[in-house]
Structure 1
Amino acid sequence: MSGTLDLPTRKHEAWRYSAVDKLRAGDLGKWRQIDVASGDNARELLVISDENAGETEVVQLRVNIADDARFELFGVIASGEFSRVEVEVTMGRGAHFEMGGITVGGRNTVREFVTRVNHAEPEATSNQTVRSVHWGAGTGNFLGAIDVARHAQKTDAAQDFKGLLLEKGASVNAVPQLEIFADDVKCAHGATVGQLDETARFYMAARGLSPDLARRLLVQAFIGDALVGLDDEEAHEKLLGTALDKLDKHL
């Protein structure tokens, strides 16, 4: 039986907005396991750029964060006709998961983050911030699921998604999913989509900035939110630079 028969379709919730026609049998099932030991801190940086991406790029991570451990994931998806970062996280007691993600692109590309965070034990915290900037017929997606087990009291989980459309025809999609069985928890999610602030652009133009530079600075401020939790200056500049380089090619 061909592996193609096992490929997902848009009927699957986690693939609702994906470019499933770009998938091949060998793209899926290559999960990389990351285990963060009790009390440890770990960080992963993901960059999908013109330098390392093919037409289809799928990254799949399974992360176990033990008690009182911390794991940070920061990533930029800026290349590929279809690029997807899929993350499954299981939290121990008192663990923390921090994620910042950026998608940028135009033409007919689809670039997305898909996460499932399982708060399996009490007193764990998670925070996910995703920013998407798209133009042409480009699409940016964030599908984020949070599961809170019945005994996982004192959970504190948050998702924040914002999309910026630079041209008509582009789209962004956010699908938050919360499944909560505990009663003493804080779970919040927010999603907004908009265009560049014309008042700010006018203000900057009045002070001599070119339209392209004004747009670049506004986009930089917008996507910078996703990297607030990254305290490594070199890594911060690398990720931000990858996203802005893609924008510069469009300007």
Structure 2
Amino acid sequence: MNTALNPYMAAYPALAAVLPGQALAWLQDIRADALARFSSHGFPSAREEDWRYTNLAALAKQTFAPVVAAAEPIIDAEWLKPYQLADAWSLVLVDGHFCAALSRTDGLPESVQVLGMADALQTYGGQVAAYFGKAVDSAEHGFIAFNNAWFTDGVFVDIPAQLVLDKPIQCLHIVTQAGAVAATRNLLVLGANASAQWLETFVGAEVAYLSAAVTEAFVGQNASLTAYKVQCESAQAYHFGGLYVQQARDARFNQHNFAFGGLLARSDIRTDLGQGSECELNGLYLGVKRQHIDNHTRINHTQPHASSRQLYKGVLDGRARGVFQGRVVVAEQAQKTDSDMNNRNLLLSPDAEVDTKPQLEIYADDVKCGHGVTIGQLDEKSVFYLQSRCIDEETARNMLTFAFANEMVDKVANEELKIQLQGLLLKKFSSVIL
């Protein structure tokens, strides 16, 4: 056993007794397998190809521990307001535990099942078992094993066939305590022809903590899911967030990923496309000072006539480091695949760094696939043009940088979320670049 893991392994027996799903043999088997994998492998290392640009040595030097669910909310509704969308149903997780008192589900159709994962395991254990671990398992990497073994709660959302929700469901992850680990597990299920918007927002107190969140989503035949992720956590926080999706025939999945916070942050997005399905992944990562922000995407074209698009943009200043690893896998039977991937990066400092690795793995012969990468600085001709219009150089550079990043915000269809993102973007720029 890796000595760096001793604190986690030593504390686990006492923790296991209070984790949800004690009466479910299938879940206990998953936890046991995950614990064994984590004991032998630990957190991912740079020796693993998918983690070669992200060194977790600093994480191994600290030990984070789950916290007990508070009997009463330790934050109030006013504190939540800057992060909650007003026109959305809201599910709040505080320090890894679902908080019904702070959540808002009034007006949600009765046919939609929405409850905390701990309650779902107790009430709908068989229904959860049909999906849990079917989109991702412990063998994926150390953070999945850690989440499987350590998760304390999460949310379960089941949207029946034919239902179209007219506003988003927001899952708000909040960490309030230094040294805490918030390990949460979410399940999102859309029946055939259903449609929904799903938003995960990650925030926390300005202390050191670890977020480890996994969401599995199942998009039924001809269903549509638009997902958003807004990660604006503490500058001292460590973050891992994974979204793993299975798309049935003709399903549509769009995801917009915004990574602004954290000392070290990693986002995994993976989707398996069914026949005729569509996928679009958009992302924006902003790194300053010594932030390290890693984005890893994988699109598996498993059936014919599916299409996918990816566009990720990064802005890096100071000594920040950004990572983009995008992978598209086209199976032998996935003929008529149409896929395109682009990653564009803007470096504002000579000390900033980006590692980008687009990959196409194609086993079919009748496909249309391509990728592109750009890394550069601001165009001096554009800066000069703005200066010639009586704009000072600093303002000109700020305008061009904001315009580069704001292109990704403009892709957001939800106007309230778009305004919130633009506010976060301006805050990020005003404190570092302006």
Calculate the TM-score normalised by the size of structure 2. 0.54
1:237 aligns with 2:419: yes
- Once structures 1 and 2 are overlaid, which stretch shifts more, 84-93 or 6-15? 6-15
Q: Is the CA contact 2:258–2:284 (under 8 Å) kept in the aligned structure 1? A: yes
| Distance of 1:78 and 1:19 partners within structure 2 | 19
Give the alignment of 1:118-133 within 5 angstroms: 118-133=300-315
| Distance of 1:184 and 1:234 partners within structure 2 | 42
1:55 aligns with 2:237: yes
Cα 1:180–1:221, aligned 2, differ >3 Å: closer, same or farther? same
Larger Rg: 2
Cα 1:19–1:124, aligned 2, differ >3 Å: closer, same or farther? same
Cα 1:116–1:102, aligned 2, differ >3 Å: closer, same or farther? same
Cα 1:186–1:241, aligned 2, differ >3 Å: closer, same or farther? farther
Deviations 1:195-251 (A, max 9, x none): 011111122122222333322221222123434543333333333432332122112
Deviations 1:64-119 (A, max 9, x none): 11111111110111111101110111001111111110111221111121011100
Q: 1:13 is matched with which residue?
A: 49
1:144 aligns with 2:259: no
Q: 2:226 is matched with which residue?
A: 43
- Name the amino acid aligned to 1:96: E
Deviations 1:161-194 (A, max 9, x none): 0110001100111101111111111111100100
- Once structures 1 and 2 are overlaid, which stretch shifts more, 25-34 or 14-23? 25-34
Pick from 341, 344, 350: which aligns with 1:162?
344
Q: Is the CA contact 1:19–1:110 (under 8 Å) kept in the aligned structure 2? A: no
| Distance of 1:165 and 1:46 partners within structure 2 | 23
| Distance of 1:10 and 1:244 partners within structure 2 | 34
Cα 1:137–1:219, aligned 2, differ >3 Å: closer, same or farther? same
| Distance of 2:347 and 2:262 partners within structure 1 | 19
Give the alignment's Cα RMSD to 1 decimal: 2.0
- Name the amino acid aligned to 1:138: A
Count of residues paired in the alignment:
250
Q: 2:293 is matched with which residue?
A: 111
Q: 1:206 is matched with which residue?
A: 388
Cα 1:159–1:36, aligned 2, differ >3 Å: closer, same or farther? same
| Distance of 1:114 and 1:246 partners within structure 2 | 23
Calculate the TM-score normalised by the size of structure 1. 0.92
Q: 2:143 is matched with which residue?
A: 28
Q: Is the CA contact 1:122–1:154 (under 8 Å) kept in the aligned structure 2? A: yes
Q: Is the CA contact 1:227–1:236 (under 8 Å) kept in the aligned structure 2? A: yes
| Distance of 2:412 and 2:363 partners within structure 1 | 31
SS at match of 1:28: helix
Q: Is the CA contact 1:102–1:243 (under 8 Å) kept in the aligned structure 2? A: no
Q: 1:94 is matched with which residue?
A: 276
Once the two structures are aligned, what percentage of the paired residues are identical? 33
Q: Is the CA contact 2:45–2:55 (under 8 Å) kept in the aligned structure 1? A: no
Work out which structure has the larger RCO, using CA pairs closer than 8 Å and 6 or more positions apart in sequence.
1
Q: 1:194 is matched with which residue?
A: 376
| Distance of 2:332 and 2:303 partners within structure 1 | 9
Q: Is the CA contact 1:105–1:246 (under 8 Å) kept in the aligned structure 2? A: no
| Distance of 1:77 and 1:70 partners within structure 2 | 23
Q: 1:226 is matched with which residue?
A: 408
Cα 1:237–1:186, aligned 2, differ >3 Å: closer, same or farther? farther
Q: 1:177 is matched with which residue?
A: 359
* Structure 2: runs of 5+ lacking an equivalent: 6-37, 65-141, 148-213
* Structure 1: runs of 5+ lacking an equivalent: none
After TM superposition, the runs of 4+ consecutive aligned structure 1 residues lying more than 6 A away are none
